[in-house]
């Protein structure tokens, strides 16, 4: 199943040049997963036509406002729109302490529950699992406890090759046998081994989200080979000192991580308010990792 | 001095048709006053080029999310931008209880103070005063305690007529005498009475902001003769029952209030998400109060 990513906001904390702040929606297997939730996210969900009835899980990387201030508005709007399916917020425990009193005050007639699924951002652990997908934390290095999220589709089973089934004119009973791993016995007594009919599964897909963080090589084993990596690139190399001071990455840092982790595609975002034009950051990253794109507001990526 | 009003958002609680939620900036005498502060207000302030170094006072009408959820983002962004002048939030006391813990958690290195100026929204009282302006509360009728705000420029003193000063070739000493109320003694002994030089002051200006509320005639004496009235018009008459149930006004209600209070101009806003096209609401109001405008996002009004 395809992964589709919508970028709701690519700016960092201070508004600039019409960019919204961090929020993305990953869609796969009929579900929408919201990753971070800055101020204005409810407007961005609407503007980008995200079906919020399919949005049941929100993942919050860390407790800086440009990653979580939009939560109360999203919850309140869901409540006013008479949502009735529960909403799961995956975050570190402090969020619940801050958000619950607001929910209690502003959303008194809510017809759904907000369920906090607390995790420790400093540990690499699986924090979500359904039939098709797992999500694990990617511990990052930022000014406050922070982690990214690795979304992995589950390995799929091998499947039957339709053209072979047609060629051998396989019937219902024989199909069942093949699915159970048995061989095909033809009417003339010939045996066609099971392997002849099986095709390897479509490769499982993956997405790694890494914001906010300074360069941290130890994330590479976790995100190794990801189909797509979003890595923050708040600064360009000309602001290396500022990146170090604020524990953010440069575009070069993001590209080095992408290269080292052998990912297929790199998206950069979380751009500082000082950059009106982002092409220099893109060029900086592409000089190291050619398959890089700017994850700017409103863009979609599919793989 | 002119009053200038910028509409940051004209929608009600649920995002629709690209409208942002309630926030307006009134500018006069070199100051910007923020009235209500929905989610995304920080982005709207930036988009509409509001000089936030001149913004020291925020007035919050009531504690529904679409009027106050943007506060923490505004404060946090001011903090990140190293603001150092204090910020005054005029609101009912509950807001402080909800907002202070968020400020304590998210804005630890703040270089300015957030000063809560608490008021009782159920009473008509003066809650702000400076050299040029007063603000008083306008108790409204909504589902929760709610008030509007009446901004009144102070009465100005009569001023000297420049052309008369030139005609009589008035010198510095004589000007001082005139300012103090004395008459002009000409070199030939003629006395010109003080009144000859004085012109009546420019009329003091005013703005009344009334959201959210059902039709409430008792506000008319407070807003009587206002130069400009913003009155919510969440619904049109075809949703009269819905207006009553949610304690909101129709466009007709807003126009009746404007007419009864003898204001000069009416702006309507806080439109329900059910209306894609707002012209019918405008027509409904204009049929009763012709000088009505839609206070839609991004518009400015000056008087």
Nearest to B39 among A15, A18, A42 (CB): A42
Mutate: best of B42, B101, B145, partner A, most A CBs <10 A: B42
Tens digit of each residue's pLDDT (9 = 90 or more) over B155-176: 988 888 889 889 988 888 888 8
Q: Is pLDDT above 90 for A111?
A: yes
Bridge partners, residue B129, by sequence: B134
Q: Is pLDDT above 90 for A157?
A: no
CA distance A30 to chain B (A): 23
- Give the HSE-up count for residue B107: Cα atoms under 13 Å, Cβ half-sphere: 25
CA distance A237 to chain B (A): 22
Question: Alpha-carbon distance A248 to A84, whole Å?
Answer: 39
Return the H-helix or E-strand segment holding A284.
helix A279-286
Q: Which residues of B touch A (CB under 8 A)?
A: 13-16, 18, 20, 39-40, 42-43, 45-47, 63-65, 69-70, 72-73, 76-77, 80-81, 94, 98, 101-102, 105-106
CA distance A98 to chain B (A): 7
Return the H-helix or E-strand segment holding A300.
strand A300-302
Which of A249, A3, A240 has the alpha carbon at shortest distance from A146?
A249
| Residue of chain A whose alpha carbon sits nearest to that of B20 | A43
Mutate: best of A43, A105, A234, partner B, most B CBs <10 A: A43
Nearest to A43 among B40, B101, B102 (CB): B40
Q: Is B66 a catalytic residue?
A: yes
pLDDT-derived band at A254, boundaries 50, 70, 90: very high
Mutate: best of B65, B91, B298, partner A, most A CBs <10 A: B65
Residue A202: what pLDDT?
86
Q: Is pLDDT above 80 for A146?
A: yes
pLDDT-derived band at B201, boundaries 50, 70, 90: confident
Mean pLDDT of B138-144: 97
| Residue of chain B whose alpha carbon sits nearest to that of A9 | B43
Residue B165, token pair as written in the block: 């000063």
Place of tokens 């290095």: A141
Tens digit of each residue's pLDDT (9 = 90 or more) over B67-123: 999 999 999 999 999 999 999 999 999 999 999 999 999 999 999 999 999 999 999
CA distance B290 to chain A (A): 33
Nearest to B42 among A39, A76, A102 (CB): A39
| Residue of chain B whose alpha carbon sits nearest to that of A13 | B77
Tens digit of each residue's pLDDT (9 = 90 or more) over A6-49: 999 999 999 999 999 999 999 999 999 999 999 999 999 999 99
Residue B215: what pLDDT?
98
What is the dihedral sign for C-alpha A54, A59, A63, A66? negative
Tens digit of each residue's pLDDT (9 = 90 or more) over B216-253: 999 999 999 999 999 999 999 999 999 999 999 999 99
pLDDT-derived band at B1, boundaries 50, 70, 90: confident
Which of A34, A115, A104 has the alpha carbon at shortest distance from A76?
A104
A106 contacts B14? CB cut-off 8 A: no
Determine the angle formed by the axes of helices B93-106 and A93-106, rounding to 10 degrees. Answer: 170
pTM of the model: 0.92
Q: From the candidates A36, A39, A66, A227, give the one annotated as an active-site residue.
A: A66
Question: Alpha-carbon distance B175 to B192, whole Å?
Answer: 13
| Residue of chain A whose alpha carbon sits nearest to that of B82 | A14
Residue B179: what pLDDT?
87
Asked if B7 and B38 count as a contact pair (C-beta separation under 8 A), the reply is no
Q: From the candidates B66, B212, B227, B253, give the one annotated as an active-site residue.
A: B66
Between chain A and chain B, the number of residue pairs with CB atoms below 8 A apart is 73
Tens digit of each residue's pLDDT (9 = 90 or more) over A260-283: 999 999 999 999 999 999 999 999
| Residue of chain B whose alpha carbon sits nearest to that of A16 | B46
Q: Is pLDDT above 80 for B272?
A: yes
DSSP assignment string, A198-257: EEPPPPPPEEEEE-S----GGGHHHHTT-SEEEEE--B-GGGHHHHHHHT--BHHHHHHH
Tens digit of each residue's pLDDT (9 = 90 or more) over B252-266: 999 999 999 999 999
Q: Is pLDDT above 80 for B45?
A: yes
B-chain CB neighbours of A270 within 8 Å are none
Beta carbons within 8 Å of B125's beta carbon, 6+ residues apart = B119, B136, B137
CA distance B71 to chain A (A): 10
Residue A179: what pLDDT?
87
A105 contacts B76? CB cut-off 8 A: no
Length of chain B measured in residues: 303
Residue B157: what pLDDT?
81
A77 contacts B13? CB cut-off 8 A: yes
B20 contacts A65? CB cut-off 8 A: no
Residue B301: what pLDDT?
98
Bridge partners, residue B59, by sequence: B35, B90
Question: Alpha-carbon distance A224 to A178, whole Å?
Answer: 35
Tens digit of each residue's pLDDT (9 = 90 or more) over A207-230: 999 999 999 999 999 999 999 999
Question: Alpha-carbon distance A268 to B244, whole Å?
Answer: 49
């Amino acid at each position: 199943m395809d992964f589709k990513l919508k970028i709701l906001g690519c700016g960092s904390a201070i508004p600039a040049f019409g960019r919204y702040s961090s929020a993305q929606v990953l869609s796969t297997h009929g579900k929408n997963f919201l990753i971070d939730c800055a101020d204005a996210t409810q407007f961005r969900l609407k503007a980008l036509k995200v079906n919020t009835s399919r949005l049941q899980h929100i993942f919050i990387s860390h407790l800086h406002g440009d990653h979580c201030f939009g939560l109360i508005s999203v919850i309140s709007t869901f409540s006013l729109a008479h949502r009735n399916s529960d909403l799961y917020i995956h975050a570190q425990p402090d969020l619940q302490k801050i958000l619950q009193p607001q929910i209690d005050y502003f959303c008194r007639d809510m017809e759904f529950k907000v369920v906090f699924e607390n995790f420790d951002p400093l540990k690499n652990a699986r924090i979500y699992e359904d039939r098709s997908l797992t999500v694990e934390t990617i511990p990052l290095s930022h000014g406050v406890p922070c982690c990214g999220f690795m979304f992995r589709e589950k390995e799929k089973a091998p499947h039957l090759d339709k053209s072979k089934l047609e060629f051998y004119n396989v019937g219902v009973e024989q199909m069942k046998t093949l699915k159970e791993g048995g061989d095909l016995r033809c009417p003339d007594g010939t045996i066609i081994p099971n392997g002849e009919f099986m095709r390897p599964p479509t490769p499982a897909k993956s997405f790694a989200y890494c914001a906010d963080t300074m360069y941290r090589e130890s994330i590479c084993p976790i995100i190794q080979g990801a189909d797509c990596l979003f890595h923050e690139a708040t600064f360009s190399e000309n602001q290396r000192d500022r990146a170090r001071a604020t524990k953010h990455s440069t575009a070069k840092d993001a590209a080095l991580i992408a290269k080292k982790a052998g990912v297929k595609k790199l998206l950069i975002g979380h751009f500082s308010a000082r950059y009106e034009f982002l092409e220099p950051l893109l060029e900086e990253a592409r000089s190291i990792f050619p398959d890089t794109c700017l994850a700017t507001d409103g863009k979609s990526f599919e793989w």
